Structure 1
Amino acid sequence: MDRTDGTPEVGIAMTQVGIAVDIPEPWGSYLTRRRAEAGDPQATFVPAHLTLLGPTEIPLASLPVVEERLAEVAVAHPSYTLHLRGTGTFRPVTEVVFVTVAAGISECEQLAAAIGAVPELQREHRFPYHPHVTVAQDVAPEALDQVYEDLAGFSARFEVAAFTLFSHSGEARWQPRRDFRLGG
C-alpha cells in the first residue's frame, strides 16, 4: 500500500516497466546500430522503438492488473500504419536526435493517452508526448549532428499490430514481457 505522500512503503517489491512499439526488421537493428555508432551507451540496453509509456516504476504485485488493463486498451484500438521519415531534434531543450513520425502520429498519441490513463501507470511527465524513435541521446554535439544528417533520408513504413510491455531490472537490456495485439 502507498503512503499518503505517494511513495511506496518500504519493503514493497518494485519493477520498472515501459511500453513501446518495436521497430521491425530490417529497420530496427539498423537504427539500433546507428545509435551505437553515434556513441550512445543506451543502444546496448534499448533496442529501436517508439515509446508509448516511458520508464515507470510500479509495485511488482500490480503487474497482473496492469496487463489486464493493457489488454483492454489494445482491444479498443485498431492497428495502423506507421511511417517514419527523416530526422528531428529536441535541441536545445535536450540533447536528442530522432527519426520523425510522418504518418500515424494521432494513432500513437491516442494509444499513449489510453495507456497513460491506466491508474497504475499514471505519472508525471517532464515533457509533452511526442512520438519519435530516438537515434542519439546525450552524446557529443558532433555525433548528434552526424546522425541527424546521416538519417535525414531515412524512411520506413510498416503496420503496427501490437505494442509491447517491457520490464527492466536495472542490470541488463529491457526485456519484453508481453505483446498486446491491437483490435483484439
Structure 2
Amino acid sequence: MSRPERRHDDTFVPRRSSRRSTADTAVLGVVVDVPEPWAQLLVDWRTKCGDPQASLVPPHVTLLPPTEVAVVDRPSISAHLADVARAHPPFDVHLRGTGTFRPVSEVVFVAVADGVTDCTSVAGDVRTGPLQRPLSFPYHPHVTVAHDVPTDMLDMAQSELADVDARFRVEHFTEFEQLPSGAWAVARQHPLTGPARS
C-alpha cells in the first residue's frame, strides 16, 4: 500500500494548502508542555500581541514539528514514541529571557536556558523510525510567544518578557493531533521512564 507524500513544516501554524489532514492522513506534533502558572502567562502575552495562534497552540517546546502521517501508521508511531519515552528519564527545564529568529523568521520566543541537551536528545530520537524527517532549520528548543505579528508587537513581547524565569520538571512529552479547525488536541502523553543519567 502506497503512503501519501509527507509534508514538512517547522511551525505550529495552519497552512490552508498543506498539512491539513485527510481521511487517510493525520498531522501530528510532539512537544514538551509548559506547565502552569507560566502557560497562562505566555498564552496571555501571545493574545496581547494579536497572535491568532494563542488559542490554538498551547505553550510548548517542540520536539517534532507538525508532520503529516498515514493514519494506518498511527499504531507504529505510538509504539515508537512510547519506546522513546522509556529510553529517557525526566529532566529539568529552565526558561529564561527572550530571543528572536528575526530577520529569518518573524518569531519572538522565551529561551530555554537549561534543558537544551535533554530536549535535543529526546527530539532526535523522536525524529527516527516512522517519524524520520528533515528540519528546515537546525533544532533550537524554545517557546514561541509571538509569530507573524506587527513589528511593534514582536518588539513588545521581546522586551516585556525578558525577565521571565521559569523552572519545571519534565515528566512526559505530549503527542498532539491537528483538528480540522487548525487547533491542536492532545492525542496521548508519553511518560519519561528511562534510567537516570549518571
> How many angstroms does 1:169 deviate by?
2.4
The structure-2 alpha-carbon separation of the partners of 1:47 and 1:12, relative to structure 1 and needing over 3 Å to count, comes to closer
CA–CA distance in structure 1, aligned partners of residues 62 and 47 of structure 2: 18
Query: Which among 20, 24, 29 is matched to residue 13 of structure 1?
Result: 24
Find the counterpart in structure 2 of residue 37 from structure 1: 48
Which string of whole-angstrom CA distances, capped at 9 and with x for unpartnered residues, describes residues 99-142 of structure 1? Answer: 0001000000000000001x221222111110000000000010
Find the counterpart in structure 1 of residue 167 from structure 2: 157
CA–CA distance in structure 2, aligned partners of residues 31 and 45 of structure 1: 13
Find the counterpart in structure 1 of residue 2 from structure 2: 2
Structure 2: which amino acid aligns with 1:21?
V
CA–CA distance in structure 2, aligned partners of residues 152 and 12 of structure 1: 43
* Alignment pair present for 1:57 and 2:68: yes
Q: Give TM-score, length-normalised by structure 2.
A: 0.86
CA–CA distance in structure 1, aligned partners of residues 74 and 186 of structure 2: 13
Query: Which among 80, 102, 106 is matched to residue 117 of structure 2?
Result: 106
Which string of whole-angstrom CA distances, capped at 9 and with x for unpartnered residues, describes residues 49-80 of structure 1? Answer: 11100100001111111111111100100100
CA contact (8 A) 1:21 1:162 kept: yes
SS, match of residue 51 in structure 1: strand
SS, match of residue 39 in structure 2: helix
Summarize the alignment of residues 81-120 of structure 1 with structure 2, pairs less than 5 Å apart: 81-117=92-128, 119-120=129-130
Uncovered stretches (5+) of structure 2, i.e. residues with no partner: 7-21
Summarize the alignment of residues 71-86 of structure 1 with structure 2, pairs less than 5 Å apart: 71-86=82-97
SS, match of residue 125 in structure 1: coil
Query: Which among 17, 26, 29 is matched to residue 37 of structure 2?
Result: 26
SS, match of residue 63 in structure 1: helix
Structure 2: which amino acid aligns with 1:77?
H
Root-mean-square deviation over aligned CA pairs:
1.5
CA–CA distance in structure 2, aligned partners of residues 21 and 88 of structure 1: 19
CA contact (8 A) 1:96 1:134 kept: yes
Q: Give TM-score, length-normalised by structure 1.
A: 0.93
Structure 1: which amino acid aligns with 2:5?
T
Percent identity (aligned): 47
> How many angstroms does 1:37 deviate by?
0.8
Structure 2: which amino acid aligns with 1:116?
R
Q: Name whichever of 11-20 and 46-55 sits farther off.
A: 11-20
> How many angstroms does 1:159 deviate by?
0.2
Aligned pairs, how many?
179
SS, match of residue 91 in structure 1: coil
CA contact (8 A) 1:12 1:59 kept: no
> How many angstroms does 1:12 deviate by?
6.4
CA contact (8 A) 1:38 1:136 kept: yes
CA–CA distance in structure 2, aligned partners of residues 120 and 143 of structure 1: 38
